Amino acid sequence: MNRRDFLKSIGAGGLALTLPETAQAGQRGEELATLLDISKCIGCGACVEACRESNAHKFPEPTKPFPRMYPERVKAEDWSERRDVDDRLTPYNWLFIQTATVERGGESVELNIPRRCLHCVNPPCANLCPWGAAAKESNGIVRINADICLGGAKCRTVCPWSIPQRQTGVGLYLDLLPSLAGNGVMYKCDRCHDRIAQGELPACIEACPQDVQQIGPRSVMLERAHALAEEMGGFVYGERENGGTNTFYVFPVPFEELNAALDKGPGRPHLAEVEDVMGNDEHLARAVLAAPVVGVAAGVLTFVSAMRKGGRR
């Protein structure tokens, strides 16, 4: 038995109970949310390993050398030679463990926090992508369509946590204007949408030996998050941030303290309070006015992508 199978066998008992509820909610089109009890996470990395294994077939395989970009200030982002990096988000690592040491009860406590896309209720990445490459599904999953993404990184710019990461040298832009428009494809957690569609748990949840995560209808997960926070005297993050997300973290300490202790930077998100990006009148108006154009653009790019794939057969 390998390490992942061993860890799965330990944690399978409690997780199996959530599977029918999750599958039924997804089939009904209800938004699904995840609840993470950070007091349970031991930082073993089983979730990171499972995420990599389950999503490896979605990872980019870039063409080199990369097209020269104009203007030259547009830089290539290449992670293809650093695929083993697992201490931050990359196009090949959609989940990582962020660690913070804080004071609790007069003692230093180390907390481990699985970080990835929070799957916002009203995601700016999907609402403001100029090409319609990012979209939110009826079950609450926010996905980037790698077949039509041009790598412009608008999604990362408007994301309050700068989650999506770019890989140059891959995607549709190579067949359009590779030196003038686009710069690859953006990647992030898609909550194992293919597994969810089959009534299975996301790989990270299935593999966790500590039952850190649960998944189910948003209303149920939010109720459990508040009950858990009350039980431990803790705090909920994700309920209101950016107008609400479909990821709820329950911390035993204030998230302001955690945020101050985190190693933050590119690919390493913060835990600060976040205002609703789509609550901004300018962003909202832009999304409404651009919607018809974005829809047409997405349709055209989808057609071009299909022709591109057909030409390679």
pLDDT tens-digit series, residues 71-83:
777 789 999 999 9
| First-last CA distance in the chain | 39
Measured at the alpha carbon of residue 263, what is the angle toward residues 257 and 269, in degrees to the nearest 5? 85
Task: Write down the H helix ranges in 137-270.
Answer: 154-158, 193-197, 203-207, 218-232, 255-261
Nearest to 91 by CA among 105, 79, 108, 81: 79
pLDDT at residue 8, rounded to an integer: 42
Q: How far is CA 169 from CA 62, 73, 78, 155, 179, in A?
A: 5, 17, 8, 18, 11
Rounded CA gap, 125 and 251, in Å?
26
Give the tokens for residue 123: 């995601």
Indicate the number of domains in the chain.
Answer: 1
Question: 100 pairs with which residues across the strands?
Answer: 111
Give the tokens for residue 94: 């959609």
Task: Provide the 10 A C-beta neighbour count for residue 152.
Answer: 20
* One-letter identity of residue 152: G
Nearest to 253 by CA among 225, 272, 234: 234
pLDDT at residue 22, rounded to an integer: 61
Contacting residues for 222 by C-beta, under 8 A, at least 6 apart: 33, 239, 248
pLDDT at residue 288, rounded to an integer: 44
Angle between helices 46-55 and 3-16 (to 10 degrees): 100
Ranges of the chain whose pLDDT falls below 50: 1-17, 284-285, 287-289, 291-293, 296, 303
Tokens 């919607």: give the residue: 291
The CATH number linked to 97 is 3.30.70.20
Q: How far is CA 295 from CA 230, 271, 300, in A?
A: 44, 33, 9
* One-letter identity of residue 167: Q
| Residue 97 backbone phi and psi in degrees, to 5 | -100, 120
pLDDT at residue 23, rounded to an integer: 57
Task: Give the domain extent around 278.
Answer: 3-311
Tokens 């993404």: give the residue: 149
Give the tokens for residue 217: 């209808």
Nearest to 204 by CA among 4, 94, 46: 46
pLDDT at residue 139, rounded to an integer: 93
Contacting residues for 312 by C-beta, under 8 A, at least 6 apart: none
Model confidence over 40-66: pLDDT tens digits?
A: 999 999 999 999 999 999 999 999 999
